Structure 1
Amino acid sequence: MPEQTMTAAGSRTVRFGYHGSTEVASRIIRLAGREAAGVQLSEYDIADPFRGVRAGELDVMIVKFAIREPDLVSSRVLTEDARAVVVGSGHPLAARASVSIEDLAGHDAFAPPGGFPAYVWDDVVPPRTPAGRPIRRNRRGRTVPEMMRMVAAGEALHISLISFADIAPPGIKVVPIHDLPPAPVTLAWRRGAEAHDHIREFITTAEAEASR
């Protein structure tokens, strides 16, 4: 599991789960006033996203879109991540400055990977456009690299987030979707974990700064 650690004397490390780009995670760490304090970044598995917090291996994790997990708690919205479609560089949409979600109807997209919650995936990759046209979520990939190999080969596109541009591999284009609202970004943690002072301080400081 890739990790990046920021340490500071006198501060207890917050184990922070993220997925994809670290830019959004860094934004939240700054909100929490922890640029120089101890934060250990660990990338979680998209196919089993909540395992780390449930196992007590992570204190908090980034969540994009709302979750309904009875054993987990979410913060207020801390920031947003704009929507985008990920396509191969040879795809007809790759040269566009932006696309409509309606442009993506009729293209092959991905079903939820592994144990990713289906109700959250409906927000990530909507089953239908606002006009009611189906999006074919008929491709399966368990990991992001596997999905991106399929995208680069022109076998599918992936409806995602603009932050993916930070980690897009060669042969991939990330095109903004101009008519989907951005994803709300929150923190999630195991119910009761906020009883630990360093976790509670991290969460409440980030929330307070985000609401300014």
Structure 2
Amino acid sequence: MPDPTIHSADSLIRLGYPSSPQSAHDVLTSAGLSEDQAALVPYDLADPFSALRSGELDVLVVKFALREADLVTSKVLHFESRAAVVSSSHPLADRDTVSVEEVADYDAFGRPGAFPEYLWDEMVPRRTPQGREIRRRHRVNTIPEMMALVVNSDALHLSVASVADMAPPAIRIIPIHDLPPTPVRLAWYRGSELPARVARFIAAAEAASSVAHRR
């Protein structure tokens, strides 16, 4: 059972998330919090950890494996399946699932701004398992910019399943069956003491962890 004392917090937990807010809602729900106990903030994909380091956010939902010396991460809360973001008119749009080897036939996206290169390499690998180059030719700094470009071209983005929650009707999200799912964790700044309400939230989220696929 989540710790009931987490509901006595007198301040909102400032929780950042990378793309879809649904991933943040899921973590809140698993920890026993309601939405009115947190301020959900999409963080800047071009500089994803700056708000955490500056103290503007208390904690982030993060995906893949962080290697930031000044950030601490929780245990894995769950795993999320990989997916390709394509337009509804894309040659792959009618598929129920695709291989990452097929994805390599189309132009993909390079990392936005100061997004850590090692993390982008996990999101959008440089090569497929069979050695084919994934052409990371397009550059945008936001999810809406990415989706707008996808709608109007044959470009695609390698992402995670939850991005479907913010996809417009002209976008299809297709599962990639041969990429491993990504772990989802919480991250916080090592350089300052966590407020008690945030520490309780993290502990409750870890205690409730199912370590299972979100979708």
When normalised by structure 1's length, the TM-score is 0.91
For structure 2, the residue ranges without an aligned partner over 5 or more in a row are: 1-6
Are 1:194 and 1:200, in contact at CA under 8 Å, matched by a contact in 2?
no
- Aligned match of 1:209: 208
Q: Which residue in 2 is equivalent to 1:110?
A: 109
Q: 1:12 to 1:19 in 2, by over 3 A?
A: same
Paired position in structure 2 for 1:128: 127
Aligned to 1:120, the other structure's residue is in SS state helix
Q: CA RMSD in A?
A: 1.7
C-alpha spacing 1:150/1:13, structure 2 compared with 1 (3 Å): same
Residues 68 and 10 from structure 1, CA distance in 2 versus in 1: closer, same or farther, beyond 3 angstroms?
Answer: closer
Which letter does structure 1 place at the counterpart of 2:20? S
Check whether the contact 1:106–1:134 (CA below 8 A) recurs between aligned residues: no
1:140–1:32 distance in 2 versus 1, CA, 3 Å:
same
Aligned in 2, Cα 1:183/1:10: closer, same or farther, shift over 3 Å? closer
- Give the C-alpha shift of residue 19 in structure 1: 2.2
Change (3 A) 1:165 1:48: same
AA partner of residue 171 (structure 2): I
Amino acid at match of 2:101: E
Residues 119-143 of structure 1: per-residue CA shift (max 9 Å, x gap): 0001100111111111001111122
Say which SS state the counterpart of residue 195 (structure 1) adopts.
coil
Q: What corresponds to 1:4 in structure 2?
A: none
Name the residue aligned to 1:99: 98
Aligned counterparts of 2:171 and 2:54: Cα–Cα separation in 1: 34
**What is aligned with 1:76?**
75
The answer to whether the Cα contact below 8 Å between 1:80 and 1:185 also exists between their aligned partners in 2 is yes
In the alignment, the residues of structure 1 paired with residue 168 and residue 29 of structure 2 have an alpha-carbon distance, to the nearest angstrom, of 27
Matched-pair identity in %: 51
Matched residue type, 1:71: D
Contiguous gaps of at least 5 residues in structure 1 = 1-7
**For the residues of structure 1 that align with 2:193 and 2:37, how far apart are their CA atoms?**
17
* CA drift at 1:36: 6.2
Show structure 1 runs of 4+ deviating over 4 A: none
Match of 1:16 in 2: 15
**Residue 78 of structure 1 contacts residue 186 of structure 1 at CA under 8 Å; is this kept in 2?**
yes
Distance 2:157 2:210 in 1: 32
1:194 to partner: Cα distance: 4.7
